[in-house]
Amino acid sequence: MKVYKFGGTSVKDASGVRNLKKVLQTIGYNDTVLVISAMGKMTNAFERLVAAHLLNDKEGIEEAIQYKEIEGFHLNMIKTLFDNGDHPIFEKVEDLFDDLNGFLFDNNSSDYDYVYDQIVSYAELLSTKICSAYLSENGIKNKWLDIRKCIKTDDHFRQANVDWKLTSRLLKRKIKSSALTITQGFIAGDNYGKTTTLGREGSDYSAAIIAYCLEAEDVTVFKDVAGVLNGDPREFKNTVLLHQISYKEAVELAFFGASVIHPKTLQPLQKKKIPLRVKSFVNPLEKGTLVVNGVDIEPKIPCFILKKDQILISISDKDFHFIMEDDISEIFDYLHQYSLKVNLIQNSAISFTVCVEDIFNNFNDLVKDLNDRYKVLYNKNLTLYTIRHFTDETIKKIEKGKKVFIKQLSRETAQIVVQN
């Protein structure tokens, strides 16, 4: 069994969906699970719908461009892909929008994370329904699977944790070999029938979960780049393709922010030694990058990662006391409580500095709590550069013309927090 994953960029428009068909015809699709993300930027559009809904802006929901944008996008997509206006997909899409409207009408909960998962998941359902119908219509027989019935999680909405045993059992029962199964990434279900999600950009992780549970031969994620490069081509010039990297190297790159692979993807694959391939959906026959056990990185060159929107917080005692282990423990409790992602830590006798990312907009609450006991200073809008396998020249290149706040070097990794 093979697992393929196509991301939002690969199906951002009708020609992307047509290309998906071409890729499958080129590389084969027997005994395959195909994970497809929400189309284009639809998850962002649904996030805006969540916000309108929770503001109770009823008229806004009906009229707002967000909603029109979403419905309009998908209707346009099916009108372009299907000549026959009577094709059952039109009704299926309508049914999904009816369900969504039903939720918007009935929901009384103001729990943001819960509501988010119930609404945003429609983007993946719509996308997979449309792709599945298009492929069937064009000679690629497939079975659409509601992954929420197989990947089971706790009810930690927006960051759900997988129940591996149950998930394995359900996936094995539901997915039969020698066919093409099409399913969603990113979404899952709890034991009470509620939809959960695994974290933004989580469909690479879904592909890994499925591969792990079904002991797949390999996983291939198809991207708009040739594979894993030694830097994000949107941010760095003259990037070079990495032919092969170890799981450990891939985890490091992903953890530090190489967004081409979701960081959670690697662990399940590494555990069962399932190779991961990162390939171009434009040139699927090219080799791309292979992630396996073996050489750390081939070719061995410095790799650059950039993370924007970093906040550097310096925390010190109001009475000039040392910052001791119990303080650090308390500070970390707060960081955990407010789900701030810590990317770098530095401490001195009287202050403790962390570079964090405020994904869930909790920073102000954190500062409020910390202010009770500590003096808190911070700088926002900073950038964290990580260089794996750095050299003196590469550090100089990154630092040039920027104000450096913190620099930390370990054997293989340099991290530099700067203001551009």
Q: How far apart, in whole angstroms, are the C-alpha atoms of residue 158 and residue 309?
A: 21
Among 104, 131, 188, 229, binds ligand ADP (CB under 6 A): 229
**Site residues for ligand ADP, window 201-220 (CB under 6 A)?**
201
Tokens of 335: 């960081």
- Answer positive or negative: Cα dihedral of 190, 193, 199, 202: positive
- Least spacing, CB of residue 202 vs ligand ASP, in Å: 5
Q: What is the DSSP letter of 246?
A: -
**Which of 127/132 has CB closer to ligand ADP?**
127
**Which of 222/352 has CB closer to ligand ADP?**
222
**Which of 236/334 has CB closer to ligand ADP?**
236
Amino acid code (one letter) for 414:
A
**Part of the chain binding ligand ASP (CB under 6 A), chosen from 55-63, 198-206, 305-313, 409-417:** 198-206
User: Within a 10 A sphere around the Cβ of 356, how many other Cβ atoms?
Assistant: 21
- Least spacing, CB of residue 13 vs ligand ADP, in Å: 13
Based on the shown chain and the rule CB under 6 A, indicate whether residue 8 belongs to the binding site for ligand ASP: yes
Based on the shown chain and the rule CB under 6 A, indicate whether residue 190 belongs to the binding site for ligand ASP: no
Length of the chain: 420
Task: Report how many residues bind ligand ADP under the rule CB under 6 A.
Answer: 18
Dihedral Cα 147, 149, 154, 158, nearest 10 deg: 40
Among 202, 227, 231, 268, binds ligand ASP (CB under 6 A): 202
**Site residues for ligand ADP, window 29-48 (CB under 6 A)?**
37
User: How many Å is the Cα radius of gyration of the chain?
Assistant: 23
Amino acid code (one letter) for 407:
K
Based on the shown chain and the rule CB under 6 A, indicate whether residue 252 belongs to the binding site for ligand ADP: no
* Contact assessment for residue 251 and residue 209, using Cβ atoms and an 8 Å cutoff: no
Task: Supply angle C-alpha 124, 121, 76, rounded to 5.
Answer: 50
**Which of 10/142 has CB closer to ligand ADP?**
10
- Least spacing, CB of residue 260 vs ligand ASP, in Å: 12
**Part of the chain binding ligand ASP (CB under 6 A), chosen from 36-44, 147-155, 293-301, 353-361:** 36-44
Q: List alpha helices for 33-151, DSSP H.
A: 42-54, 58-63, 65-81, 88-106, 112-120, 122-137
Q: Which residues contact 59 (CB under 8 A, 6 or more apart)?
A: none
CA atoms within 13 Å, Cβ hemisphere of 262: 21
Amino acid code (one letter) for 346:
Q
Residue nearest to ligand ADP (CB): 7
Based on the shown chain and the rule CB under 6 A, indicate whether residue 212 belongs to the binding site for ligand ASP: no
- Least spacing, CB of residue 258 vs ligand ADP, in Å: 4
Residues that bind Mg ion (CB under 5 A): 7, 201
Q: Which residues contact 272 (CB under 8 A, 6 or more apart)?
A: 211, 212, 215
Tokens of 260: 């081409």
**Which of 126/331 has CB closer to ligand ADP?**
126
**Which of 7/288 has CB closer to Mg ion?**
7
- Residue 190's region, left for phi above 0, alpha for psi from -120 to 50, else beta, is beta
**Site residues for ligand ASP, window 114-153 (CB under 6 A)?**
123
Among 3, 33, 38, 313, binds ligand ASP (CB under 6 A): 38
Sites of contact with ligand ADP (CB under 6 A): 7-10, 37, 201, 223-225, 228-229, 231-234, 258-260
Residues that bind ligand ASP (CB under 6 A): 7-8, 37-38, 43, 123, 185-186, 200-203
